Structure 1
Amino acid sequence: MPTVLVVGATRGLGLSLVKQYAAAKHTVYGTARSEAPKEPSPDIKWIRGVDVSKEDAGSTLATALKVHSLNTVIITAGYFGTESLDQPNFKQELLMYKTSSIGPVFIVHHLHKAGLLTKGSKIILVSSESGSITLRHESEGGGNYGHHASKAALNMVGKLLSLDLKEHGVAVAIVHPGFMRTEMTKGVGFDKYWDAGGAVKPDEAAQSLIKFINDFDISRTGEYWAPRGPADIGTAEAVLGPKDKLPTPLQLPW
């Protein structure tokens, strides 16, 4: 069966992904910074001590994996600290950049050097529509510099990785999985937008993402997509046109 690695799998989207892949009888590895959750399937193989914001995350991961190759790698680890122009936060910004856009480079580097990424492998970088400069409309204002800019940086990382890995037959996608009802969005006060913004549960977002990954291949490497389409992208209509005229999945502008 195919082998899947989900980096950042202890909650939210990552946890839903490992559960659904395990239920589909894939060989599933999930990473945890400390302890693995107790409820998921015993078929999930957990690798502990992987903190994407730390320099050794990639080497720890490559050493711990006991497989010949990985069919799919999904990097979904993230951190969201809110900011404003009146109150930027240097420490939180550093953590957001390290987690979102620096750590993935080193993880992919070590997996590649260990020979775990082979022709046909897929790397999925979980970004956000907030990383699109084009979609950033004046109606949403400024602020949250570290979160949005680190996602924009991740989008560039994905594009560059796709160029480096294409000759090896490894495809890279950058995705906005959807606006989700998670502890992360609740923790920054975004739960007040859940209903109006069409937020979905992580299980729904995971299901859409898995379908997208199944259909994704090297012909679309380096592209930026919203598997769930424009429904939860608040500025889609203002920037791209009527939502009922936009396709699902939706390729997003940089």
Structure 2
Amino acid sequence: MHVVITGANRGIGRALAAHYCSKGDEVTGTARDGSAQVQLDVTDPAQHAEMAQRLNGRPVDLLICNAGVYLDKGHTIDGYPAEMWAQSFSANVTGVFLTVQALLPNLLAAKGKIVIISSQMASHERAPGGSYIYRASKAAALNLGRNLAVDLRGQGVAVGIYHPGWVQTDMGGSGADITVSQAVAGLTDRFAALSLETTGCFETWDGQSHPY
């Protein structure tokens, strides 16, 4: 199986890459800073084109759109500058779409799967306030995934959107609920179960259906 993972240089992305490598799968990891196999700033269309050219039509069985930013963590209502909104949406939403767009021929060749790492903070039913930019961008990523699922189902490509849990990473902090290993074990089970019958699902790392 050929797995492509964006943001594979740290946190959940790096752990997912290690998991699939340990199983003997072929992994193509990307990182903005060039510390993975492919240098990719997901906000840069030119780098997406370069990645697609490098893969040269090679089938992709599983695309994990993991790269993202949480720039407004800790901000209060008098914060949230306009540029932060633009940067966050560029990475967390546009970046997902550009990745899918660039690798769609590879995914179609394999009748592959697309995974979008969103967050429970995308849910409009769970809106405790704060983190306006991150919440809005992850909600947009969820919406994007749901609509991609509709359009790609007839072409044999399933799409799943997942909350990875509150994970002990640089983003989640040391006080988070679960370890990276727990998150990866649960997520990889979810990815394996994803099919055209469940395409468009929004699930938690441990297999629960998440409210929208």
User: Which residue in 1 is equivalent to 2:180?
Assistant: 202
Identity of aligned residues (%): 28
Equivalent-residue separation in structure 1 for 2:3 and 2:110 (angstroms): 15
User: Which residue in 2 is equivalent to 1:253?
Assistant: 211
User: Which residue in 1 is equivalent to 2:109?
Assistant: 118
Gaps of 5+ in 2: none
Q: Deviations over 1:169-211 (max 9, x none)?
A: 000000001111111223xxxx4x52xxxx2222221111111
User: Which residue in 1 is equivalent to 2:142?
Assistant: 155
Asked if 2 retains the 8 angstrom alpha-carbon contact of 1:59 and 1:107, the reply is: no
Equivalent-residue separation in structure 2 for 1:164 and 1:57 (angstroms): 25
User: Which residue in 2 is equivalent to 1:52?
Assistant: 42
Q: Deviations over 1:84-120 (max 9, x none)?
A: 21212222221111111111111111211x4443353
Aligned Cα RMSD in Å? 1.6
Q: Scaled by the length of structure 2, what TM-score is found?
A: 0.93
Q: Scaled by the length of structure 1, what TM-score is found?
A: 0.78
* 1:6 CA displacement: 0.5
* 1:68 CA displacement: 2.4
Equivalent-residue separation in structure 2 for 1:218 and 1:164 (angstroms): 12
Distance change in 2, residues 1:116/1:22 (3 Å): same
Point out the structure with max Rg over C-alpha: 1
Asked if 2 retains the 8 angstrom alpha-carbon contact of 1:118 and 1:169, the reply is: no
Equivalent-residue separation in structure 1 for 2:120 and 2:46 (angstroms): 29
Q: Deviations over 1:19-65 (max 9, x none)?
A: 0100000011100112326xxxxxxxx112x0112233432221122
* 1:166 CA displacement: 0.9
Runs of 4+ in 1 over 3 A off after TM superposition: none
Asked if 2 retains the 8 angstrom alpha-carbon contact of 1:7 and 1:74, the reply is: yes
Asked if 2 retains the 8 angstrom alpha-carbon contact of 1:162 and 1:221, the reply is: yes
1:171-250 equivalence runs, <5 A: 171-186=158-173, 191=174, 193-194=175-176, 199-228=177-206, 249-250=207-208
User: Which residue in 2 is equivalent to 1:74?
Assistant: 64
**Equivalent residue letter for 1:56:** A
Asked if 2 retains the 8 angstrom alpha-carbon contact of 1:118 and 1:168, the reply is: no
User: Which residue in 1 is equivalent to 2:124?
Assistant: 133
